[in-house]
């Protein structure tokens, strides 16, 4: 019975109280500002009516489950069912506010980006106008250049006529110069005959020196000699030392020592032509003074992959494709100087060489290379 009365009461309720006010129509008519207090009061009344309806619905559900009046009086009071709905509504409201703030932040970001794009647009317009100005300047320069080229063509035509006349004058001067050069050629031929006599005399000198000091002539030209030298009295087996002697027109010579596998530093000696024998002897003595060291290095070339740098007294030993050892030879080696290990680099990294030492006290280069090639840690 209570349920039926409640339903009848809801049917008689005017649905217009439950509808929201149409604010869009008010905004279109321009009455929004004057109707703002009225709309706020309507909203407050709607919320109050909605709460009352929720209470009525809860009462209807409660009365629908009762069988008698005694059960209503004896049954304990239920918890307020509106708390859960209110909590859910508050959570939705908080989420709504959070979303609103997020949208406002995105709108602010979008506004900043639009301002930035406007700035870039202004910059592009400025650049476009500057480009247009440059284009006009280029066109003006092209017109000026075309006029200048026309004037240049006229000048060239005048210069060409002058050049033809100058060429004719040059031909006459060349004829005169040719006659002078012809006389100079005759004089040079006379000097060539003198050089030929000097070369033959030097050839005789080289042959005599070859017999006494084991020279081997490689090539002979009108102004250059190439030969290999090694004294017969050398007790140490050394490779031949290659040198070249170039004769100049002022009775001077230029002696060049080539390194090759001999191990000497490449050097050049200049002097008067009559001092060439003394220069050869001096170079050979300097070669022999390092003979013991060079003989050892030349012998190591056939056993190990090494590279000798005579200027730095540095020997580079390539054990493998990734392991490289550097050894320094002191001055006076092997009688007065020693051979020391400077560094070992493996896979591009420097290794600790503190404990790398052959079993002998003062190892020579051969002992060093044999020790390094057999060491498994390198």
- Domains of the chain, residue spans: 138-289, 293-374
Q: How confident is the model at residue 261 (pLDDT cuts 50, 70, 90)?
A: very low
Provide mean pLDDT across the span 341-360: 87
Q: How confident is residue 30, by pLDDT bands cut at 50, 70 and 90?
A: low
pLDDT in tens, 282-321: 777 777 777 778 888 888 888 899 988 887 888 999 988 8
Of 228 and 317, the structure prediction assigns the larger pLDDT to: 317
Whole-number pLDDT of residue 1 = 46
pLDDT digits (tens, 9 = 90+) for 110-122: 999 999 999 999 9
Asked if pLDDT for residue 125 goes beyond 90, the answer is yes
Q: Is residue 177 predicted with pLDDT exceeding 50?
A: yes
pTM over cut 0.85: no
What's the pLDDT score for residue 121?
A: 92
pLDDT in tens, 267-279: 678 888 778 778 8
Cα-only R_g, the chain: 55
List Cβ neighbours of 314 (8 Å cut-off, separation of 6 or more). Answer: 308, 326, 327, 328, 329, 342
- What's the pLDDT score for residue 302? 85
Is the model's pLDDT at 19 over the cut of 50? no
Per-residue pLDDT at 296: 84
Q: For the chain, give the mean pLDDT.
A: 78
pLDDT for residue 113: 92
Distance of alpha carbon 148 from alpha carbon 142, whole angstroms: 10
pLDDT category at 23 given cuts 50, 70, 90 is: very low
CA angle 52, 56, 60 (to 5 degrees): 170
């Amino acid at each position: 019975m209570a349920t039926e009365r409640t339903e009848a009461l809801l049917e008689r309720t005017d649905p217009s109280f439950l509808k929201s006010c149409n604010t869009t129509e008010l905004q279109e008519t321009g009455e929004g500002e004057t109707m703002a207090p009225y709309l706020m009061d309507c909203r407050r009344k709607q919320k109050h009516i909605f709460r009352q309806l929720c209470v009525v619905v809860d009462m209807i559900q409660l009365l629908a489950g009762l069988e008698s009046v005694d059960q209503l009086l004896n049954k304990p009071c239920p918890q307020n069912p509106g708390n859960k709905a209110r909590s859910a509504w508050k959570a939705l409201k908080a989420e709504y506010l959070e979303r609103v703030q997020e949208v406002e932040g995105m709108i602010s970001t979008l506004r900043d980006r639009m301002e930035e794009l406007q700035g870039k647009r202004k910059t592009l317009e400025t650049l476009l106008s500057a480009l247009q100005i440059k284009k006009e300047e280029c066109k003006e320069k092209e017109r000026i250049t075309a006029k200048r080229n026309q004037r240049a063509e006229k000048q060239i035509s005048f210069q060409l006529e002058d050049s033809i006349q100058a060429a004719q004058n040059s031909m006459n001067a060349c004829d005169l110069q040719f006659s002078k050069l012809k006389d100079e050629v005759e004089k040079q031929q006379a000097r060539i005959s003198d050089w030929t006599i000097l070369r033959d005399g030097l050839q005789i000198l080289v042959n005599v020196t070859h017999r006494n000091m084991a020279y081997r002539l490689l090539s002979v030209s009108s102004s250059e000699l190439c030969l290999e030298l090694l004294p017969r009295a050398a007790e140490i087996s050394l490779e031949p030392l290659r040198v070249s002697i170039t004769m100049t027109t002022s009775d001077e010579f230029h002696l060049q020592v080539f390194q090759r596998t001999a191990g000497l530093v490449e050097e050049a000696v200049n002097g008067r032509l009559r001092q060439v024998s003394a220069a050869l002897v001096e170079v050979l003595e300097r070669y022999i003074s390092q003979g013991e060291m060079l003989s050892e290095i030349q012998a190591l070339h056939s056993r190990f992959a090494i590279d000798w740098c005579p200027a730095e007294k540095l020997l580079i030993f390539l054990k493998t494709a990734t392991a490289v050892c550097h050894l320094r030879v002191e001055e006076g080696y092997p009688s007065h100087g020693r051979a020391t290990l400077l560094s070992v680099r493996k896979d591009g990294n420097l290794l600790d060489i503190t404990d790398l030492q052959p079993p002998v006290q003062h190892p020579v280069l051969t002992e060093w290379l044999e020790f390094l090639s057999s060491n498994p840690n390198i």
